[in-house]
Amino acid sequence: MISGNLVVQDLVNGTMLNTHLLRFVAQKYLKLGANQHNTASSEVLCPEEIKSSKKAIYLDQDLDRVISPVHATTMERETTLINGENMQHGATIRSILENATLLAGHVYSRDKYERLTRKKHKILITEPRVELDEAFLGCTWTGNNFFAHWLIDDLPLNLSAPDGVASIRNNFELSEHQRFYSGLFGVSPVPYKHAFIKKLFITEDLGQTSHKAKRYQELRSRIRKKMQSANAKGVVIKRGSSGRSRGFINEDEIIDSLIGLGFDMVDVQTMDGETIATKLLDAKIIIGVDGSHLAHGLLTLRDGGVFIVIQPPVRFFNIYKSHLDCMNSDLNYGFIVGNAQGDGFTLETDRLYKLLDKVNDQLGLL
């Protein structure tokens, strides 16, 4: 349990100037003071690694249906990933920031700046400050803005904290699903609006390294110790209108066809976290259109199971494969690409059945 001293500063009319912001501007734009990318000290938890993986399962000529990848990647990188070729993963590095300030979703120190929110910097400070001797930063910008990154990046990130050091995060309201998973996995960083931390630990954790793999395995173990497995043959996760539209025109038709094959269905818009996790736990096949909602299935997928992503042709992206490859070499990844139609796309049921037949031929899951 984290604790700290509440310090109500001597403010003029209840406010004070954000001098941390002024220092950041001076360092970044005026090139004054310390380099913002340096830290007081750092420790390499896992060096850079080069790893290969299983090839993705997909239909012949399916790549010909891809019009373009999502903006954050390239077709060359996606092809390397789905073919299981060697990929470079950045080192896992834990750093220490001395005398850091967490304020309204921004972390300031003399040596580094971390943005955790879409919100702008606060010029005037009105919140009282809590002082902490030490803490671990248990959140990231991507995790604070995208559910999938919160679940499969920020939660394992917290397990890289030094022993005995509590995690903190910026103050934002968790969703019901996030509150459920926080309790389930026992990962609950303490929220703060304004805190001064004498020693703040931060882990750079972008690479899918062997260090991260152990933390994934720990989370997969924790959920199975606390929940009863449903052992479903297959589960389809409905996206519906959740998140940004993927333009999946005949999603309901595809869901009905899978239910007809004996699959269960998860609706992330109407079901609570416990119901979702119960249905997904140890499912042999988990399938759904690309998006953050699919992250519910990564830590719950059965060992030896397959995770299938229905890909929009104009935003081809296989980020979930890199996470699955890191989690467990016994997990499998597949995809199928839809057909562009107007501003969206469709998927034929007979092509989906062919992919499921190929999955069964290779893995024997149906």
Mean pLDDT over the full length of the chain: 90
- Tell me which residue range forms the domain holding 121: 5-33+92-206
Residues 85, 99 within the same domain: no
Residues 176, 272 within the same domain: no
Strands (E), the chain: 5-7, 16-17, 41-46, 49-51, 87-89, 92-103, 106-108, 113-115, 124-125, 129-137, 167-170, 190-192, 194-204, 234-238, 264-267, 285-289, 306-311, 332-337, 339-341, 344-346
Residues 303, 340 within the same domain: yes
Is residue 129 one of the residues assigned to a domain?
yes
Q: Give pLDDT tens digits for 299-330.
A: 999 999 999 999 999 999 999 999 999 998 89
- pLDDT at position 225 over 70: yes
Residues 264, 348 within the same domain: yes
Quote the pLDDT of residue 21. Answer: 66
- pLDDT at position 199 over 90: yes
CATH number of the domain residue 337 falls in: 3.40.50
Is residue 213 one of the residues assigned to a domain?
no
Residues 22, 139 within the same domain: yes
Residues 284, 338 within the same domain: yes
Is residue 150 one of the residues assigned to a domain?
yes
Quote the pLDDT of residue 337. Answer: 98
Tell me, yes or no, if the pTM score tops 0.75. Answer: yes
Is residue 42 one of the residues assigned to a domain?
no
Q: Give pLDDT tens digits for 32-47.
A: 554 444 456 899 999 9
Of 179, 206, 233, the residue at which a domain comes to its end is: 206
Quote the pLDDT of residue 284. Answer: 97
Residues 138, 12 within the same domain: yes
Is residue 294 one of the residues assigned to a domain?
yes
Residues 98, 79 within the same domain: no
Query: With b meaning 16 or more CB within 10 Å and e meaning fewer, what string describes 93-123?
Result: bbbbbeebbbbbbbbbbbbbbbebbeeebbe
Residues 235, 261 within the same domain: yes
Residue from 77, 307, 273, 280 nearest 181 by CA: 273
Residues 197, 307 within the same domain: no
Quote the pLDDT of residue 112. Answer: 82
Is residue 85 one of the residues assigned to a domain?
yes
Average pLDDT estimate for 173-188: 97
Total domain count for the chain? 2
Average pLDDT estimate for 208-234: 96
Residues 193, 291 within the same domain: no
Of 146, 172, 206, the residue at which a domain comes to its end is: 206
Residues 341, 234 within the same domain: yes
Is residue 219 one of the residues assigned to a domain?
no
